Amino acid sequence: MVDILPFKGLLYNQDKINDVSKVVSPPYDVIGPGLLKKLKEISPYNVTNLILPESLEEENKYVHAANILENWIKGQILVSDKKKSFYLIEVIFEEEGKQKSINGFIGLNKIEDYDSGKVLRHEDTLPKPKEDRLKLLEATKANFGLIYTVYRDNTDLVTDLIKENEPETSIKPYYDPRLCFNFRKISDEAAISLITGMMKDKSVLIADGHHRYETSRIYSSRMKKEGLKASDYILTLFVNSKQKDISIYPTYRILKLKKSLDIDMLIDKSRKYFTFEKVLDHGLNEILYKEKQQGRMSFIIYPDKDNVHLARLKKELPRKGGLEDLDVYILHRYFIDEVIGSNNIEDISYTHREEELKKEVGLGSFDLGVMLNPPAIEQVESLSGKGLLMPQKSTYFYPKPCTGLVMYKF
């Protein structure tokens, strides 16, 4: 069902770049200002110069990125592969003291409308990030970062291919040496046929990269209307969701309110939907995990370290097997939108780290932190298959793919 292709990847020339770990980066949307500065300082050829270009004039930064790309290709900093290939990637990482790994392959995925059922999404998108990525795509005519997708298959074809082929590149990226990326290319026609054959009856779910996918859809459609050539394909990582080490982290909310917060009044207003229990300011993740294990829909509100409360959805509220079975949906529908009121929110930030949430609230930068459990990957797959969209920032798939290992210039 899904239409995929091998391609001639655009790669860093290791004859000129002897340490690839210094030129790769995480996806653009998880790079903070501090890390961006470090990455650009560690190497003048770091991929962040392409994905997050800077210029004195805002609009010129996209042209600046295009010029950098052209110069790097002319100077053979970046070179195109000679053969069309799929690229196998294995990510080794540590989580909770255990070594884990996931693998997948990188190829081109045809850009489809969602109603085709070939490419599924699980979150809606925002206009501002799409506008930014669209301007970069128009200027450079290249995909630098990967769309991270998952598919479901009971075989271990990609794992078998990885075992049969030694890695050509193995790096621990400068930005996070706890990760290790093993990278191989497959240009053998028989192996390529095996991969394309495996994917013929599949659909793929976007795990990460909704804005980049939407941008490519908009760009491709616009170019066709204007009678201009554009790529019908997008650079994509395909990961089998049956792998046990795939992790989805919770995405916590940190709210800044327009009106001052009275925690007692907020709790009283919420009792129509939730029961509340005061808890101590430690072991909060363990509390949430136990709630999930017992089939309860709960979240923790954190206005300060002395007023931490566990909010638990009342049993009598309807649960229909759709979005109503998601903690993040319940949080937004009944607490953020109805009790706090979306009009009362001045700013909202997101993090998957408890210590960052506590720091921001403790400093007074934000008024309220909310911790919650993540959805299971089976829930994400089921809901997206029904065409249901989760609230923004409902998932944080880990580990994130590495930007810069292979790129696509069309």
Compute the distance between CA of residue 122 and CA of residue 380 in angstroms, rounded to an integer.
7
| Domains of the chain and CATH, by start | 4-247+398-409 (3.90.1530.10), 252-373 (3.30.1760)
Helix (H, G, I), strand (E, B) or coil at 180: strand
Compute the distance between CA of residue 169 and CA of residue 81 in angstroms, rounded to an integer.
15
Strands 396-398 and 247-249, bridge-based pairing: antiparallel
Question: Which residues does 186 contact at the CB level (< 8 Å), separation at least 6?
Answer: 6, 85, 86, 87, 88, 105, 161, 165, 192, 195
Unique residue bearing structure tokens 């990525």 = 133
pLDDT of 319 reads: 65
Compute the distance between CA of residue 176 and CA of residue 172 in angstroms, rounded to an integer.
7
pLDDT of 300 reads: 98
State the pTM of this model.
Answer: 0.91
| CB neighbours of residue 343 within 10 Å | 8
User: Which secondary-structure segment (H or E) carries 289?
Assistant: helix 284-293
pLDDT of 406 reads: 98
Question: Which residues does 150 contact at the CB level (< 8 Å), separation at least 6?
Answer: 204, 205, 207, 238, 239, 240, 241, 246, 377, 381
Compute the distance between CA of residue 132 and CA of residue 215 in angstroms, rounded to an integer.
9
pLDDT of 219 reads: 93
* Phi and psi at residue 245, to the nearest 5°: -95, 5
Transcribe 15-55 into DSSP letters.
TT-S-GGGT-BS-GGG--HHHHHHHHHH-TT-THHHHS---
pLDDT of 399 reads: 93
Q: What is the mean pLDDT of each run of 10 residues along the chain (410 residues)?
A: 95 96 96 96 98 84 96 98 97 92 97 91 83 94 97 92 92 96 96 96 94 93 83 96 94 94 93 96 94 94 97 78 87 94 92 95 96 94 90 91 97
List the strands of the sheet with 274-278, edge to edge.
Answer: 274-278, 309-313, 298-302, 368-372, 252-257, 345-351
